[in-house]
Amino acid sequence: MANVIIRPDWHIADKFITPEKAYLNRRLFLRGLGFTAGAATLLGASAPGLHAVEIPGATDLKKELYPAKRNPEFDPKWKLSDENEVFTYNNFYEFSTSKNAVVRLVKNFTTAPWPIEITGMIENPLKLDAGELVSMFPLEERVYRFRCVEAWAMIVPWTGFQLSKLIEKVKPTGEAKFVKFVTFNKPEQAPGMADKRYPWPYTEGLRLDEAMHPLTIVATGLYGRPLPKQNGAPVRIVVPWKYGYKSIKSIVRIEFTDKQPKTLWETMAPDEYPFESNVNPAVPHPRWSQATERMIDSGDRVRTQPYNGYAAQVAKLYPKS
Ligand SMILES: Nc1nc2c(c(=O)[nH]1)N[C@H]1C(S)=C(S)[C@@H](COP(=O)(O)O)O[C@H]1N2
Ligand SMILES: [Mo]
The bound ligand whose nearest atom lies closest to the alpha carbon of 99 is 1
User: Looking at residues 187-197, what average pLDDT do you find?
Assistant: 98
| Ligand 1 center from residue 90 Cα (angstroms) | 7
pLDDT digit string (tens) for 206-261? 999 999 999 999 999 999 999 999 999 999 999 999 999 999 999 999 999 999 99
Rounded to an integer, what distance in angstroms lies between the CA atom of residue 103 and that of residue 95? Answer: 9
pLDDT given at position 219: 99
Kindly tell me if the per-residue pLDDT of 38 is higher than 90: no
Q: How many CB atoms lie within 10 A of CB 267?
A: 12
Is pLDDT above 70 for 202?
yes
CA of 245 from ligand 2 middle (Å) equals 5
pLDDT of residue 40: 37
Cβ of 280 closer than 6 Å to ligand 1, yes or no, is no
Residue 13 has pLDDT above 70, yes or no: no
Identify whether the C-beta of residue 70 lies closer than 8 Å to the C-beta of residue 49: no
What does pLDDT average to over the chain? 88
Please work out whether the CB of residue 203 comes within 6 Å of at least one atom of ligand 1. no
- 273 pocket-lining for ligand 1 (C-beta < 6 Å): no
Kind of pairing, strands 140-147 and 152-162? antiparallel
By most ligand atoms within 8 Å of CB, the mutation choice from 92, 158, 195 for ligand 1 is 92
Q: Whose atoms come closest to the Cα of 250: which ligand? A: 1
pTM of the model: 0.87
Q: Please check whether residue 126 is in contact with residue 118, taking contact to mean a CB–CB distance below 8 angstroms.
A: yes
Taking residues 260-273, what's their average pLDDT?
A: 98
Quote the crossing angle between the two packed helices 20-32 and 37-46, to the nearest 10°: 120
Residues of the chain with pLDDT > 70, as a percent, come to 83
CATH 3.90.420.10 matches 14-316:
yes
Is the beta carbon of 148 within 6 A of some atom in ligand 1?
yes
Instruction: Name the residue at shortest CA distance from atom 24 of ligand 1.
Output: 248
- Report the Cα–Cα distance between both ends of the chain, in Å, rounded: 31
| Sign of the dihedral defined by the CA atoms of residues 293, 299, 302, 306, in that order | negative
Nearest residue by C-alpha to atom 11 in ligand 1:
245
Q: Which amino acid is at 301?
A: R
Distance 153 CA to ligand 2 centre (A): 9
- Pocket of ligand 1 contains residue 183 by CB under 6 Å: yes
Q: How many angstroms does the Cα of residue 76 sit away from the middle of ligand 2? A: 23
Local structure of residue 316 (DSSP, 8 states): G
68-73 CB contacts, 8 Å cutoff, 24+ apart: 68/138, 68/139, 68/140, 68/141, 68/159, 68/221, 68/224, 69/140, 69/141, 70/140, 70/141, 70/142, 70/143, 70/157, 71/140, 71/141, 71/142
Q: Check if the beta carbon of residue 19 is closer than 8 Å to that of residue 297.
A: yes
C-alpha of residue 91 to centroid of ligand 2, in Å:
6
CA of 146 to the centre of ligand 2 (A): 9
pLDDT at 10 over 70: no
**43 has pLDDT over 80:** no
Q: Where are the domains of the chain?
A: 14-316
Reported confidence tier of residue 52, pLDDT bands at 50, 70, 90: low
Instruction: Give me ligand 2 centre to Cα 185, in Å.
Output: 20
